[in-house]
A = this chain, B = another copy of it.
Amino acid sequence: MRLAIGIYPGFTALDAVGPYEVLSRLPDTETVFVAEERGEVRSDTGALALTADATFDEIDAADILVMPGGPGARRQLEPLGPTVRWIQKIHPTTTWTTSVCTGSLVLGAAGLLEGLEATTHWGAAEALPAFGARYTGTRVVRQGKIVTSAGVSSGIDMALTLAGWIAGDGYAQAIQLLTEYDPQPPYDAGSVEKAGPEIVRSVAHLLGRTTAADDAA
């Protein structure tokens, strides 16, 4: 089984690495990070780079496609751009086509979300309808073989859910135990509702932008 994770400059690292850490542990899985060019691909902070071991041209099929999000996603939305064309090539070959965070906008730009429910980073919710998708606040959204998940860390929950569908509950639970995924966040501020308006405003400040949506989208 091939797991292909698409990356591009300005992706958010945890969007890609969360699902990677879970799904690469599935039986007989070959994992490959894919980008327009081979080699180093810098994430949104500029301080982290992942290696792409294959180009979009070299990878023609995958069983699982994972598309991470990040501030750089907005530069991947061109209808004839390399990332969109790669998704359009790969999607017909997949068993599962998935996204994390604003990776769903890239799936949308490829025409995959027309008429479907989907999710994305909370700060980019209003960007989904442009692609014919209805935003849901659910953390993991399945529509047929397309699975979108919410912001950044949600990819871990998405991947564990997918692991259960693919390899069974017991196997997915073994991966959960292997990665000791027994979350105990010190705060309960992981959603807009839980965090409240003051923290929401401070995220915009933290990003140094007018709204978090500007960056997330």
Contacts and interface: CB of A to CB of B under 8 A. Distances in A.
Interface of A: 12-14, 17-18, 20-21, 24-25, 30-33, 40, 45, 47-51, 53, 101, 121-122, 139-140, 150-154, 156-157, 160-161, 164, 169-187, 189-192, 194-195, 198-200, 202-203, 205-207, 212
Q: Report how many copies the assembly holds.
A: 2
Contacts of A21: 12-14, 152-153
Nearest to A170: B202
Contact of A183 (B25, B49, B153, B169): B153
B24 A14 contact: no
A24 B200 CA distance: 19
A150 B195 contact: no
B160 A186 contact: yes
Given A21-B12, A31-B48, A177 B160 contact: no
B174 A206 contact: yes
Given A40-B40, A174-B205, 9 more contacts: A17-B48, A21-B152, A21-B153, A25-B206, A122-B180, A150-B180, A153-B181, A172-B186, A177-B199
